[in-house]
Structure 1
Amino acid sequence: MNVRRRSSAAALAAIAVIGAATAPAVAADPSPSSSPSTTAPSGLYGSTDPQYDGVWRQSLALLAQDTAGVIPSSTAVKWLTDQQCANGAFAPFRADPAKACDAKTPVDTNNTAAAVQALWAVGGHGDVIEEALGWLKSVQNEDGGWGYVPGTPSDANSTSVVIGALTATETDPAKVVKDGKSPYDALLTFALPCAKDKGAGAFAFQPDKDGKLLPNADATAAGVLGTLGEGLVAEAGKKTGAASCADADQPDRERAAANAAAYLTDTLAKDGHLVSALGGSADQPDYGNTADAVVALAAQGGADKAAEPLAWLKKNAAKWAGESGPAAYAQLIFAAHATGTDPRDFGGTDLVAKLNATGPAPQGTTAKDTATASDDDKTKDEKKDDDSPFGVWWFVGVCLLFGVGIGFLLSNRNKKQQP
């Protein structure tokens, strides 16, 4: 889903305390706490303090495992479901899940939407998903979008990650409306016109204090996926020509995504990666946002569009992921998946094995394989046509259908259940 998603722990703490959208939303991997947790909760992936990113990193880890054909640990899945509040929402971390949530529990849209995507992927938790979706719909803003904290102004990142949760569960975002406005309507308000001298085609996180839209690469990557109706996991879209920005009388989602992809392409052209400056330090490579950009570019215009930043990640991102933990490995797995790259040989690194080693041992593997070389030239629709509607997950899905009593099977995406 995520200015941005790489908010510092301090910024996230400020959001939780004062309930104001004064920092970017967390739609991809928030920076882990600098001090490791001395007693990491059983079932949780990663060893750093989970106070600000426990649910986020757990959700991404489970989603990445499923994407790579790994059956996650039941203990890990239970850890995530236990984090849910009675109203359906998720906070970044609840140290004592047995204690009921109250008005001071810092629930948010990003962690809730990520948990929905992960639990939908692993299957068997329709009631949890249904309650989470119900909560997300209940806190939708009048403009059709979402802020990080309920009641705060909508932003591109939060709106996009919630769109991902809706589409992952086969809920049409266009039909989730508030005062006649859908999430897509809200998202398009953050798109900059092509006529703008700087940042043409980009997405802003949200308007600044003067109401101006300022280009932001991370919000742009999130905006591409959101306007396309994609979640954290996306496949390569139909190949397109050279990226360019073009205004239209009534910009639609497809045009906005193409314009934003053109902005990302131009921004990545210099170094092959995005940059960030934290705490007044000099610009430095932003690995997580570069991985997000790879997914966005591949989803909008095919894997070839993301070739340069993908190559840079393969060469440089292993150390970053090792230092950052499970969410970072997950982001790289998503980038590999979107481009038809083997995540078990990502620049010589087995991302799946590295991710698995950060938490409870998985139950095993499925018949799902990562994309082969012959898949690289296929569009999403062509790959969908190749999928068989039967197999091990069809049988598991039938069992879940009878056991839970809700949902239906999505054979082409190996999804097992819908609330």
Structure 2
Amino acid sequence: MNVRRSAVALTATAAAVFGAAVPAVAATPAPSATPSVKIPAGLYGSADPTYDGVWRQSLSLLAQHTAGEKPAASAVGWLTGQQCANGAFAAFRADAATACDAKVMVDTNSTAAAVQALAALGGHDDATGKAVTWLKSAQNKDGGWGYNAGGPSDTNSTSVVIGALAATGEDPAKVVKDGASPYDLLAAFSLPCAKDGGALAFQPDKKGALAPNADATAAGVLGALGKGLVTTAGTAKAGACAAASGKKPTPAEVARNGAAYLAQATAENGHLMSVMPGATDQPDYGNTADAVVALAAQGGAKAAQKQYAWLEKNAGAWAKTSGPAAYAQLVLAAHAVGADPRHFGGTDVVAALNATGPAPQAASGEHAKSAEQDEKSGSTTTLWWIIGVGLVAGVGIGFLLSGRRKRTQ
């Protein structure tokens, strides 16, 4: 789910702000925060999209849809236009009119995120069907997926693909390669309680050793639950890490133990810390948002109450600096705990997200109906919300933020 990165590389967003939402990536040269390509119409954010264009667009559309917005046709069109003929997506294609060739580096993370967004919006069965077919072709013999087709499996990539499969009605347990399903991969990367508290590793190191990774754990909890980037509160009882009932942990045990690890890691102050090599320790906002979603997906809103409260109090400035994917993470975190992202620590993060790209067409039925009912009851807050939405939809200035991101949005 949310922060997707390997230990050896950072995308443009993560290079500028620790914890920003980006896909897991293979080793690449450090990207520049200054766009080296023209930002296409319809794309959210103003930073160089080379490494995260499809990812941040997918999260943005998912967040808008989850918040009851109808994304702009140009934004949806940009995303569908990025797909290659074989069904896969690359992180970004500057010239989408040119057919994909061997030089176009398609990847599982971008493809799976796009599938989840397009499946949620509906009406894109052909595109999502082709994408899922490609994802199945890229599955490894251990049941998992790596960032690139044929690359070594990792927890994050496997989990986001599970979310894509589930979003399109596939049963991840039945998507197997050489007898192994993605749940087998997650079980193999789940660490024992006695040593590492039930965390999941990103992937083995060169010596085959596994190390706990909070980012991978948050993603792995969702994957083990068979859930995607958008999730509602779960009902499992919170508990300490417990030994597996068999030779390997079941998906439910992987999720339970991973959630226990996240709860313990955030017990003292409500947030995770960044672990970037050579960097000063600081709160990791993106991974904390991912942890909120994972904890809520496993054990309900109460399980993520402390972490969400910290996020609501502290993450607004981070999202403003980090751009659309970060705003989307906050929207999805609010949704997971049943909170209103339009009142996130005094900030309307839905409007802030909308301001980074083309304005949505309109609010969807349920949200519009709720707004109308509030207006009739004389809600001053709702009145101003309605005025704001009108400005965004009409002239696009009602919710524009004065501190709009200049470098990494």
- When the two structures are superposed, what TM-score results if normalisation uses the length of structure 1? 0.81
Q: Name the stretch that deviates more: 249-258 or 105-114.
A: 249-258
Determine if the alignment matches structure 1 residue 200 to structure 2 residue 160: no
Q: Is the 8 A contact 1:267 1:274 kept in 2?
A: yes
Q: Is the 8 A contact 1:9 1:33 kept in 2?
A: no
Q: Which of residues 219, 223, 226 in structure 2 aligns to 1:222? A: 219
How many residue pairs were aligned? 356
- When the two structures are superposed, what TM-score results if normalisation uses the length of structure 2? 0.83
Give the corresponding residue for 1:147: 146
Q: Is the 8 A contact 2:10 2:25 kept in 1?
A: no
Give the corresponding residue for 2:208: 211
Separation (CA, whole Å) in 2 of partners of 1:287 and 1:266? 17
Give the corresponding residue for 1:364: 362
Give me the identity figure in percent.
Answer: 67
Question: 1:195 is aligned with what amino acid?
Answer: A
Where does the alignment leave 5 or more consecutive residues of structure 2 unmatched?
13-21, 371-409
Q: Name the stretch that deviates more: 176-185 or 228-237.
A: 176-185
Separation (CA, whole Å) in 2 of partners of 1:313 and 1:178? 39
Give the corresponding residue for 2:316: 318
* Cα offset, 1:241, TM superposition: 3.9
Q: Is the 8 A contact 1:147 1:159 kept in 2?
A: yes
Are the structure 2 counterparts of residues 316 and 9 from structure 1 closer, same or farther at C-alpha, using a change threshold of 3 Å?
A: farther
Q: Is the 8 A contact 1:206 1:213 kept in 2?
A: yes
Separation (CA, whole Å) in 1 of partners of 2:253 and 2:171? 19
Q: Which of residues 234, 254, 258 in structure 2 aligns to 1:237? A: 234
* Cα offset, 1:39, TM superposition: 3.1
Give the corresponding residue for 2:374: none
Separation (CA, whole Å) in 1 of partners of 2:31 and 2:357? 15
* Cα offset, 1:206, TM superposition: 0.7
Report the RMSD for the aligned CA atoms in angstroms. Answer: 2.2
Give the corresponding residue for 1:389: none
Give the corresponding residue for 2:299: 301
Separation (CA, whole Å) in 1 of partners of 2:184 and 2:301? 28
Separation (CA, whole Å) in 1 of partners of 2:189 and 2:136? 21
Separation (CA, whole Å) in 1 of partners of 2:261 and 2:238? 14
Question: 2:224 is aligned with what amino acid?
Answer: T
Deviations 1:348-385 (A, max 9, x none): 11011001111001110112349x9xxxxxxxxxxxxx
Q: Is the 8 A contact 2:43 2:57 kept in 1?
A: yes
Separation (CA, whole Å) in 1 of partners of 2:350 and 2:154? 32
Are the structure 2 counterparts of residues 114 and 347 from structure 1 closer, same or farther at C-alpha, using a change threshold of 3 Å?
A: same
Q: What does 1:75-154 correspond to in 2, within 5 Å?
A: 75-154=74-153
* Cα offset, 1:245, TM superposition: 3.2
Are the structure 2 counterparts of residues 233 and 26 from structure 1 closer, same or farther at C-alpha, using a change threshold of 3 Å?
A: farther
Deviations 1:86-143 (A, max 9, x none): 1110000000001111111110000000000000111111111111001000111011
* Cα offset, 1:279, TM superposition: 4.5
Separation (CA, whole Å) in 1 of partners of 2:11 and 2:148? 10
Give the corresponding residue for 1:45: 44
Please state whether the residue corresponding to 1:368 is helix, strand or coil: helix
Question: 1:328 is aligned with what amino acid?
Answer: A
Q: Which of residues 279, 282, 297 in structure 2 aligns to 1:281? A: 279
Separation (CA, whole Å) in 1 of partners of 2:25 and 2:309? 26
Give the corresponding residue for 1:175: 174
Q: Name the stretch that deviates more: 37-46 or 162-171.
A: 37-46
Please state whether the residue corresponding to 2:273 is helix, strand or coil: strand
Deviations 1:5-32 (A, max 9, x none): 145995459xxxxxxxxx98259xxx98
Give the corresponding residue for 1:255: 253
Separation (CA, whole Å) in 2 of partners of 1:149 and 1:270? 37
Separation (CA, whole Å) in 1 of partners of 2:95 and 2:8? 20
* Cα offset, 1:242, TM superposition: 3.8
Give the corresponding residue for 1:391: none
Separation (CA, whole Å) in 1 of partners of 2:235 and 2:43? 37
Where does the alignment leave 5 or more consecutive residues of structure 1 unmatched?
14-22, 373-419
